Each structure stands twice: as C-alpha cells, then as structure tokens.
A = this chain, B = another copy of it.
Amino acid sequence: MSGIKVFAPASVGNIGIGFDIMGAALERPGDEIIASKSDTPGVRITKITGAGGKLPYDAEQNTAGVAALRFLEHIGAEKQGIELEIHKKMPLGSGMGSSAASAAAAVYAVSEVLRTGMSKRELLPFAAAGERLVSGGIQLDNVAPSLLGGIMIARDNETFDVHRLHVPKGLFMAVVRPHLELLTREMRSRLSREVPLSSHIQQNANLAGFIIGLYNADIPLIGRSLNDVIIEPQRAAFIPGFYDVKSAALDAGALGCSISGTGPAIFALCPNSLVAENAGISMKKVFENLKIEADIYLSGINQEGAVIC
C-alpha cells in the first residue's frame, strides 16, 4: 500500500536562556518517516536507516513507534495496522532533537495516512509521548518546534500550552556537532536543583529581552539577551573547547552562542547566512585543533515544522 512520507526538522532546544521551555526548528537536517497502512494490526517498524543500528525495532521502545501507538489509541484505532520506515538523517544523541524529530514525523505521517483531518497542533501530545521515552519526562522544547516550526515557547507542558514567537527575517543558525557522546538523562541529573535568586532574575530578564527582540526585530537586543547564566556554566565543562568555540562564533559576528539542548552540539544564532557560514567554519576549526571531528549545519529558522515530502 502507498505510504505517506513526512520530514520533521532538527531543533535547537533551550536556545540558552529558555531552559526546558524554548526551542527553534531548523530547516535542515531532519528525519524522514514513511507511514503505510497494513493489514496486520499494530505498529511495526519495518526499516531503519541512518541510525547505525542504535534504534530498536520494537515499537514500544522506539520514539516514533510510541508516538504512533499513543496516537492510534487516542483515535480508537488500536486494531489499525501501521508500518513505519524511519530514515534518520541527523545524528542521534547530539542535542539537536533527534528523537523529537522522529516522534513528530511519525505521528504526522500516521495521521495523514489515516486521513484523520487533525491539525498538527492536535498531534502534539502524541509526539510528546514518543519523545518522553528518551527524555524521561514531557518536554516540549524540541517536539513543539519540530512538529509546528518556528521558535516556540512551551508555557505549560501538561496542557500543551505552546506559543510561536515572531521571528525577524534573516536570522540564521550555525550548529556544530562534535563527535562526542553525551547522554541526555545523565546531563540532566548533573544540574544543580537550585538556582541563585540573582541568576534567576538575570535569566528572566534575558529571556524577556530575547522575546522582545524577536517581536520588535531588534537584532542587537536579541544578541545582548542571549546569555545563559544558569545552565551553560554547568554543562560547558563536558564539552572540550566549549568556550573557545563560543568565542570563535562571537568573533565571527554571531549574536549569541550556547549549547544546543543537552549538547554536545553548539549553536550560534546569527544575523544572516553569511555570518552563520563564517561562524560555523570558525567553530569547527576549534574542534579540529582539538582533534575532535565535527559537522556543521547551517540553516534558517524553519517556519513549517513537519511536512509531507
């Protein structure tokens, strides 16, 4: 039977100052998932490419599979047969929202192949259920932008109260992914459970400034505000050369630079694509000097999220 192929993009979670609540969708890279109807009830993952054998075929153990399963249950179609092909086109465990992209692509593909007529916003809870398998809790800062596009704020995870921010034209991301392995859960457990009040105030002020900068297209304000005083200092030590990479990005003209999600990928938000290209090259060079292989991804802010392709 003919399937529906969906692309869902990578995303930069946190964007430094919006820990657990803000994320930006990239135009590339991203994952592709093909959903097809089948006569055999249940969700079966029939093919996985690009994951280096690291992703399970058991649907209940796979983010895409879980997203599909929870969605079928929701619409009362547990008996429906669904086959999923998962084509990973981005690195796993890099802090670029790989699991969120697969979950978003899967649920959208299944919804479309079954012609439910549901909006992508209605599908968010099921994409989140898939992502939960990896992150251990409901976080929408990757899955919301991956599914819906743009720069998103998750005000409340329980009610899926997410909001898209205005994004000024031209903003561009350079994301550099060093070939280092960090595990999301371990990185989260290392964070201090307390924040100094003064840091809370400063971070709050910077998040506010960042959002105001986006709405007013005040590019310098976006840059001044992109300064994470809480999470980055705790995670930087786990990424060799982080502060040199950051300096390289800022020297190249980036508005700001911090860790993408839990890392090790590092993003630089740039005023245009030319700066992003220079920043990306400079950042990669720092890793090369440390004998660490690294990939560069250059991308505007994706405004569409998951799409049929």
Contact = CB atoms under 8 A, between A and B. Distances in A.
Given A156-B205, A204-B203, A194 B191 contact: no
Interface stretch (A49-57, A92-100, A208-216, A239-247): A208-216
Given A155-B206, A163-B221, A200 B200 contact: yes
A183 interface: no
Interface string A92-132: 00000000000000000000000000000000000000000
B163 A212 contact: yes
Contacts of A307: none
Interface stretch (A14-22, A31-39, A288-296): A14-22
Interface residues of A, number: 38
A2 interface: no
A216 B195 CA distance: 30
Contact of A201 (B21, B194, B201): B21
A64 B22 CA distance: 42
A153 interface: yes
**8 tightest CB-CB pairs across the interface, nearest first?**
A155-B209, A194-B194, A21-B205, A195-B200, A153-B208, A195-B195, A155-B205, A163-B212
